[in-house]
């Protein structure tokens, strides 16, 4: 489906690189199908050296021959960047934005022409094909546009389509979530070190505990609370650890972390 499509990534930073490298490594796209832009020439040169993907700092020229334009700049500079490209885009092209907080309505207004637009919210585990992407589409899109977006993001992990009203929550949980989990992994590994484990062993053990626990939730379909109860032997050791987590307010803190990230995501679109 994507074999003859040309894709321009506007703003090839961390996420642009994550997506491009996966598109290439899975054979979904060839380097000739990809083009990138960045602010600095050094970043453009980096993409050429590392992936053989050509690029430039000229956003308007970069979108002209693309079938799909993937907007990966920060939401704060979206109005400026869209103003640069909008006169070079036509209705045969599909615009996909991964920008946090920047709504389909804002995107459509900034582009002026009624163009097919899709919002996508991926996350960094996309780099290894373990990503999660949520899609929402604008009112000019048809089934083909959604199928293209799905085919693209299916190569980086799981994909689902949701109403746009959920996007700030999706951003706070699914896109920011990996950072929260890395912090948990880091902290638990420190716990192992505190108890005398070598650091590398500690990190391996906590990583496997996280992978195993995540797979248990995904594959057994059981509620996490039930799975937690299976670990927690009466008068055993786990309950003492859980008590410390409750004393430290882990659950409240986690809920607030997602809520705060979602609140900030919403705010980003208006800056
Ligand atoms: N990081 C994440 O986990 C996720 C991020 N997102 C969204 O992805 C987007 C990018 O985030 P991220 O990759 O982390 O950010 P980065 O800061 O790594 O990337 C932004 C890129 O934009 C480029 N850029 C800046 N100004 C311009 C310009 N005028 N024209 C063209 N390119 C420009 C920068 O170029 P240069 O390198 O030359 O400075 C940089 O490469 C954001 O909108 C974010 O909300 C969505 C989901 C997850
Ligand atoms: O922190 C951010 O703003 C971006 C969007 C979601 C994940 N990273």
Centre of ligand 2 from the C-alpha of residue 118, in Å:
18
pLDDT at site 219: 98
Q: Whose CA is nearest to atom 8 of ligand 2?
A: 176
Specify the fold of 177-268: ProC C-terminal domain-like fold (1.10.3730)
**If you average pLDDT over every residue of the chain, what do you get?**
97
pLDDT at site 18: 98
Over range 242-252, report the average pLDDT.
98
pLDDT at site 1: 86
CA dihedral 152, 52, 59, 156 (to 10 degrees): 20
For 209, the enclosing helix (H) or strand (E) is: helix 199-220
- The answer to whether domain 7-167 and domain 177-268 are alike in fold is no
Specify the fold of 7-167: Rossmann fold (3.40.50)
Model confidence band, residue 244 (pLDDT cutoffs 50, 70, 90): very high
pLDDT tens-digit series, residues 59-79? 999 999 999 999 999 999 999
Over range 159-165, report the average pLDDT.
98
Handedness of CA 103, 108, 110, 111 (dihedral sign): positive
Centre of ligand 2 from the C-alpha of residue 70, in Å:
16
Centre of ligand 1 from the C-alpha of residue 71, in Å:
9
The binding site for NADP(+) comprises 10-15
Over range 154-177, report the average pLDDT.
98
For 118, the enclosing helix (H) or strand (E) is: strand 117-121
pLDDT tens-digit series, residues 26-64? 999 999 999 999 999 999 999 999 999 999 999 999 999
Sequence-distant contacts of 86-92: CB under 8 A, at least 24 apart: 86/110, 86/111, 86/112, 86/113, 87/60, 88/60, 88/61, 88/63, 88/64, 89/63, 89/113, 89/115, 90/115, 91/115, 91/116, 91/140, 92/67
ipTM over 0.95: yes
Q: Could you state, in order of their start, the residue ranges of all structural domains in the chain?
A: 7-167, 177-268
pLDDT tens-digit series, residues 258-270? 999 999 999 998 8
Ligand at shortest distance from the CA of 83: 1
Residue 271 has pLDDT above 90, yes or no: no
């Amino acid at each position: 489906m994507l074999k003859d499509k040309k894709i321009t990534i506007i703003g090839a930073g961390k996420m642009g690189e994550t997506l491009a490298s996966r598109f290439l490594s899975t054979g979904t796209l060839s380097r000739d199908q990809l083009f990138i832009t960045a602010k600095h020439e050094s970043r453009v040169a980096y993409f050429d050296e590392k992936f053989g993907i050509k690029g430039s700092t000229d956003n308007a020229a970069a979108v002209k021959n693309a079938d799909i334009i993937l907007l990966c700049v920060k939401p704060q500079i979206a109005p400026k960047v869209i103003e640069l490209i909008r006169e070079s885009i036509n209705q045969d092209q599909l615009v996909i934005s991964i920008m946090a907080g920047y709504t389909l309505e804002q995107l459509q207004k900034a582009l002026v022409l009624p163009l097919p637009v899709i919002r996508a919210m991926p996350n960094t585990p996309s780099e290894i094909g373990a990503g999660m992407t949520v899609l929402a589409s604008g009112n000019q899109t048809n089934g083909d546009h959604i199928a293209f977006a799905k085919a693209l993001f299916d190569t980086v992990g799981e994909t689902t389509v949701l109403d746009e009203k959920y996007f700030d929550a999706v951003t706070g949980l699914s896109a920011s979530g990996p950072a929260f989990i890395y912090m948990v992994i880091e902290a638990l590994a420190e716990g192992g070190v505190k108890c005398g484990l070598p650091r590398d062993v500690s990190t391996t053990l906590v990583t496997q505990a996280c992978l195993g626990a995540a797979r248990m939730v995904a594959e057994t379909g059981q509620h996490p609370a039930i799975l937690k109860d299976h670990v927690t032997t009466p008068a055993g050791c786990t309950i003492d650890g859980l008590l410390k987590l409750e004393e430290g307010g882990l659950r409240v803190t986690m809920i607030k972390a997602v809520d705060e990230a979602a609140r900030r995501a919403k705010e980003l679109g208006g800056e």
